Structures are given as C-alpha cells and as structure tokens.
A = this chain, B = another copy of it.
C-alpha cells in the first residue's frame, strides 16, 4: 500500500462517517486539494484492489477491507498525536502535520508497542477515539455545546474542528478537554452563549459552540 493510496483511504473514511451514500470524486478532490480526474484514477486503482466499491458516476464507498485499512491509519495517526503531546510536550495545535507523516510508518510491532507505552489511550489530544488493535472504536457519549440546553453542567470532551486557529482560541480562553462548562444563557438574536468555564464567565459565538463537544456531568 502506497503513501498516496493510504491518504485516499483515510480521506474516504473521514468523508464516510455520518454519510451513508457514496462519496463523490469531487468531495475527495476537495479534501485532498487535488483534481477530480486524479481522484477517478486512484479510485479505480483502489477498486481494483477491492479497497473501495466503485461504480462510474455513483461515487465510492469503502469495502470492509478498505475500512479496516483506513481505521488502522486513523489508529496510528491518533496514537502518534498522543505520543507527541504526552511525551514530547507538543501542544494540541501542533501535532497534526507530524502525525500525518508518522501515520504512514509500517510496523505493526511499532504501533502496538507505542500503544502500550502510552498506556492504551482511548482518545487523542482532540478527544477523538483511538481504534484498538482490532479496529474497534469505543464510542463516547458526546454532543455539541451548541445543542445543549441551558443551565446544564457539562465537561468539554472534544473538538469538531481541530484547526490550529480554533485550538489556539480555546487555549487563549483556557478551555481544554476536561474543562467544566455551564451554559448560563443563550442570546436569541445570534445564538451566542454566556458560559461559565471553570467558574469564570465567558461569552462565545454559536460557531464556537458548534465546534465543541461536551458531555453531561
């Protein structure tokens, strides 16, 4: 499996979650910052290897085999992120690009040993679940802050958008995984929220709230 094939599988995997239909070549091309025609080429190759199911003009979807491969790449990516943050003191907004490279290292032993070394973490630094060595993903109860009702006490358990600008905003506001959040009021006009984050008052836009995962206390 080449570097490039792995990237395609990963992208198709991510586009698939919560999307039951076939993934369009356009969507893939957008995500990969490439061209639809390039995607068509690669998708044919992946179909040849039975990693995706593909019918012309109908989009693609992962086969079970393809899904299994994709999940393993995600596992590697997220384990490396934990390593970078927990062991090498990277911050959560710095890990993505390096993990993108590390996820392609081929050695089952390496990844299982790393898993053990990190104490079998179940989530990465952004709160995303880490598949176990069999590809099983423990799903966590979580909801968007924007969809949470008033006066609820919740804790922050993840981010939807993990762009560094969003993560740096959260750092600035001292919101981290594990932060206690209470929704004090919701502005009707723009859906912005008044919060208490670790007992300190903070006002956030709906866009912020729509990218923060929380779970009830």
Closest to A116 in B: B88
Q: Mark A102-138, 1 if CB is under 8 A from B, else 0.
A: 1001110110011001000000000000000000000
A88 and B101 contact, CB distance less than 8 A = no
- Of residues 70 through 101 on chain A, the ones whose CB sits less than 8 Å from some CB of chain B are 84, 87-90, 94, 97-98, 101
Main secondary structure of the interface of A (DSSP, over half): helix
Partner of A105 from B87, B88, B101, B107 at Cβ < 8 Å: B101
Q: Chain B residues near A97 (CB, 8 Å)?
A: 107
B87 and A110 contact, CB distance less than 8 A = no
CA distance A202 to B113 in the complex (A): 34
Least CB distance, A148 to chain B, in whole angstroms: 36
A98 and B105 contact, CB distance less than 8 A = yes
Least CB distance, A84 to chain B, in whole angstroms: 7
How many copies of this chain are found per oligomer?
A: 2
Least CB distance, A100 to chain B, in whole angstroms: 10
Partner of A102 from B84, B105, B109, B117 at Cβ < 8 Å: B105
Partner of A87 from B101, B102, B106, B117 at Cβ < 8 Å: B117
CA distance A37 to B89 in the complex (A): 45
Q: Chain B residues near A109 (CB, 8 Å)?
A: 90, 94, 98
B113 and A106 contact, CB distance less than 8 A = no
Q: Chain B residues near A87 (CB, 8 Å)?
A: 117
CA distance A98 to B110 in the complex (A): 8
Q: Chain B residues near A84 (CB, 8 Å)?
A: 110
Enumerate chain A interface residues (CB-CB to B < 8 A).
Answer: 84, 87-90, 94, 97-98, 101-102, 105-107, 109-110, 113-114, 117
A–B complex contacts, Cβ < 8 Å, 13 sampled: A84-B110, A88-B113, A88-B114, A88-B117, A89-B113, A90-B109, A90-B113, A94-B109, A98-B105, A98-B109, A98-B110, A101-B107, A102-B105
